[in-house]
């Protein structure tokens, strides 16, 4: 199926997800148009990470649809037996939606450069010299071009997270998915990662960002979604959502500093 050029990179409709008896997503919609940044906010346990992981098919869901660039994910079975039907499709979607996690998950036995080069070489099968050139370019872009030959343990947390972002970029994905990218960092290191994410937003990258950092959500996003117990309680452009929240729950959450 040929992708529709104008189709959103990711489109989720009426998504339901349970872990056994625990229903975590109760009918959620999300649209990430090309070049847009969507932030997901909400209390711990509201389903943010689960929604993000459903988007790139790291988690199964029981009901609802997911489209990648207009192409619907093919399912087999129903309810708790529902699985993606086409493994090649899953692989293609997943390699096009690079994740950046709270814990940077760099390989300790590889240099920074090797970490960044690993997936494009082994998963995509791209030629090494081409990937190395690209990897160095992305390391420079996130401000750690001089750390290519260092080991992850020799880097600060902020530098490690920037290396993880370079690694995600080196896959040249259609979108980047961030799950609390700054929450493992000391406040002074947080800012260097926020700056990188803002620069990526400014250059028109498609991103979905789960964050507890309301300032980053306000500064970087085109659209903010506030999740509460597996449902969208409120959503809109950051100016509206943060300056004129409608729901009492969102007001309470924001006045608690976004940790509610
Ligand atoms: N692998 C899992 N197995 C069972 N329950 C899970 C699993 N992952 C998350 N949950 C539960 O799902 C709910 C939503 O979790 P999560 O999506 O991680 O929330 P958030 O990212 O908003 O903090 C929580 O109640 C959590 O305990
Ligand atoms: Mg989470």
Q: What is the pLDDT along the chain (260 residues), one digit of tens a residue?
A: 555 668 999 999 999 999 999 999 999 999 999 999 999 999 999 999 999 999 999 999 999 999 999 999 999 999 999 999 999 999 999 999 999 999 888 999 999 999 999 999 999 999 999 999 999 999 999 999 999 999 999 999 999 999 999 999 999 999 999 999 999 999 889 999 999 999 999 999 999 999 999 999 999 999 999 999 999 999 999 999 999 999 999 999 999 887 65
Q: What residue's CA is closest to ligand 1, atom 10?
A: 19
Cα 202 to ligand 1 centre (Å)? 31
Q: What is the pLDDT of residue 188?
A: 86
Cα 131 to ligand 1 centre (Å)? 36
Which residues does ligand 1 sit against, CB inside 6 Å?
Answer: 19, 22, 24, 42, 44-50
Q: Which atom of ligand 1 is nearest to the CA of 59?
A: 1
Q: What residue's CA is closest to ligand 1, atom 12?
A: 24
pLDDT tens digits, 147-161: 999 999 999 999 999
CA dihedral 129→134→137→138, nearest 10 degrees, is: -140
Q: What is the pLDDT of residue 185?
A: 93
Q: What residue's CA is closest to ligand 1, atom 16?
A: 47
Which residue among 48, 50, 56, 183 has the greatest number of ligand 1 atoms within 8 angstroms of its CB, and so is best to mutate? 50
Cα 149 to ligand 2 centre (Å)? 32
Question: Where are the CATH 3.40.50.300 domain residues in the chain?
Answer: 1-96+175-260
Q: What is the pLDDT of residue 205?
A: 95
CATH number of the structural domain 1-96+175-260: 3.40.50.300
Cα 31 to ligand 2 centre (Å)? 19
Q: What is the pLDDT of residue 187?
A: 87
Query: Which one of the ligands is nearest to 54 CA?
Result: 1
Q: How far is Cα 139 from Cα 52, in angstroms, rounded to an integer?
A: 25
Q: What is the pLDDT of residue 175?
A: 97
Q: What is the pLDDT of residue 141?
A: 96
Q: What is the DSSP string of 87-125?
A: HHHHHHHHHTEEEE-SS----TTS-HHHHHHHHHHHTS-
Q: What residue's CA is closest to ligand 1, atom 5?
A: 19
Cα 184 to ligand 2 centre (Å)? 12
Q: Which atom of ligand 1 is nearest to the CA of 227?
A: 22
Cα 53 to ligand 2 centre (Å)? 10
C-beta of residue 253 within 8 angstroms of C-beta of residue 43? yes
Q: What is the pLDDT of residue 5?
A: 64
Give the angle 6-100-108 at the CA atoms, nearest 5°: 145
pLDDT tens digits, 180-202: 999 999 988 999 999 999 999 99
Q: What is the pLDDT of residue 3?
A: 57
Which residues are paired to 68 by β-bridges? 10, 71
């Amino acid at each position: 199926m040929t992708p529709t050029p104008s189709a959103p990179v990711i489109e989720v409709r009426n998504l339901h997800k349970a872990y056994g008896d625990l229903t975590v997503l109760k009918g959620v919609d999300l649209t990430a148009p090309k070049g847009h940044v969507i932030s997901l906010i909400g209390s711990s346990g509201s389903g943010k990470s689960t929604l993000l992981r459903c988007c790139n098919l790291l988690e199964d869901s029981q009901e609802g649809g997911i489209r990648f660039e207009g192409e619907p994910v093919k399912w087999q079975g129903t309810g708790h037996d529902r699985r993606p039907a086409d493994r090649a499709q899953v692989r293609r979607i997943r390699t096009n939606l690079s994740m950046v996690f709270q814990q940077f998950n760099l390989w300790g036995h590889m240099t920074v450069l090797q970490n960044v080069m690993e997936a494009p070489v082994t998963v995509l099968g791209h030629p090494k010299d081409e990937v190395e050139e690209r990897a160095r370019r992305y390391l420079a872009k996130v401000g750690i071009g001089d750390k290519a030959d260092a080991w992850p343990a020799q880097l600060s947390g902020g530098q490690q997270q920037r290396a993880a972002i370079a690694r995600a970029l080196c896959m040249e994905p259609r979108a980047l998915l961030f799950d609390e990218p700054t929450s493992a960092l000391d406040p002074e290191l947080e800012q260097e990662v926020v700056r990188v994410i803002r620069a990526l937003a400014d250059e028109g990258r498609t991103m979905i960002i789960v964050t507890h950092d309301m300032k980053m959500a306000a500064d970087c996003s085109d659209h903010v979604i506030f999740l509460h117990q597996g449902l969208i309680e409120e959503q809109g452009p950051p100016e509206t959502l943060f300056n004129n929240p409608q729901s009492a729950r969102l007001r309470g959450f924001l006045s608690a500093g976004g940790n509610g």
